[in-house]
A and B are shown apart, each in its own frame.
Chain A
Amino acid sequence: MDIKEIQNLIKFVAKSGASEVKLEMDDIKITIKTGSDSDTTIVHQVPAQMPQQVIAAPAAETPAAPAAASEPGAPAASDDSKYITIKSPIIGTFYRKPSPDKPLFVEVGQTIAEGDVLCIIEAMKLFNEIESEVSGKIVKILVDDSSPVEFDQPLFLVDPS
């Protein structure tokens, strides 16, 4: 769900006259309150830092939106354990594209096969293409493009299932 959709939703709820709307779907949980005593509109998108359309959040972990929103890190951490972490084999600079004008190697949500190139790590003018040893779906990219990485630093989370 992108910002635009959320904005439209807020407008829709505000017009409808409802004081509170809770919406749950897949990994997203949104609560919109349009209290008459205040003009504030509160939007919780839970878990905010998780990539969308990838993880079906267990329903048991999200009993109420405000509660879950107050500790968004907790469910994410327990979910990560079933993913495979791809780490950097060397020290260098992490690049997500073969060159600045080219498309990204991989994006979140993309299905990858063993042997696919995931990124380039540049060290001492050596450009090292890192191939995937697993197949699955990219759940999370943990490093920003063009930033330095250490040996063994986690780069990607992959859902092997």
Chain B
Amino acid sequence: MHLIKLNAIGSTNSYLKHLNATESIADYTAVIAENQTEGRGQMGTIWNVENSKNLTFSVFKDLSEFQFESAFYISMVAALSVYRTLDLFSIPKLNIKWPNDILSENKKICGILIENVIKQNTVNASVIGIGLNVNQNNFDNLPQASSLKLVTGKTYDLNELAITIINQLKEYFLLLSDNKLNVIKNEYESYLFRKNKPSTFKDAEGVMFSGFIKGVSETGNLQVLLEDEILKEFDMKTITLLY
């Protein structure tokens, strides 16, 4: 296992992508940041962490030999690897909030940001960035954020968590390379937050509506059962789950 540890880094994803562009790097090479200063969430949002208390790292995965229909499987594999790791560490009430946030007791404890390199119209490599709130106690102004320590009261070893997540990634990517797509998708759907529960959503125009989350499509759209037994698919941009 190639682990690169850095005291301070802008973004571990950017560092790995740069490394990949300049030299050939081994599969599952990981970069762990002691202190990430320019962490990123979705386009334009930031991922801020207290120094040394949380796990912020990125993993490189070569996908040039992989054949899969949809890049969303990478997202599912990443979410499942974190989920399984946290389950092994006995973190209670875990869920995957579509598309790839991990919740414990209904609060977000992990965010995942995946960047793919596309060559000749297929995903050539993936850089999986994982931000896991571990030993941080305070989340001022972030009522929906939590950490492993806040949930269980225990302090966790960051390296141990990182190594377990990487090992889980290896197992799930093995399933993907064996084309066990249904196994991945079924497991992912079984952990979905608010699955089969009446939930409220807001669409792009701000209009609220209710439905039941049933699953995801191959491409990652959320499938929601609406009134009159209508199953409708929603893109990430068009729907927000209220909780």
Contacts and interface: CB of A to CB of B under 8 A. Distances in A.
Interface of A: 89-91, 93, 95, 98-100, 115, 121-131, 133, 146, 148
A89 B115 CA distance: 15
A122 B220 CA distance: 12
Contacts of B237: 93, 148
A125 B235 CA distance: 11
Contact of A129 (B42, B43, B100, B118): B118
B113 interface: yes
B220 A123 contact: yes
Contacts of B94: none
B108 to A, nearest CB: 14
A128 B42 contact: no
A125 B100 contact: yes
B123 interface: yes
A127 B71 CA distance: 10
B200 interface: no
> How extensive is the interface on chain B, given as a class?
20 to 34
A129 B71 contact: no
A125 B99 contact: yes
Given A93-B237, A100-B43, A122-B43, A127 B121 contact: no
Interface of B: 14, 17, 40, 42-44, 71-72, 74-75, 99-100, 112-124, 219-221, 235-237
Nearest to B126: A126
Contacts of A148: 237
A127 B43 CA distance: 9
B120 A129 contact: no
A98 B17 CA distance: 12
Nearest to A121: B118
Contact of A124 (B99, B118, B121): B99
B43 A124 contact: no
Contacts of B124: 131
B118 A130 contact: yes
Contacts of A124: 71-72, 75, 99, 219-221, 235-236
Contacts of A99: 40, 43-44
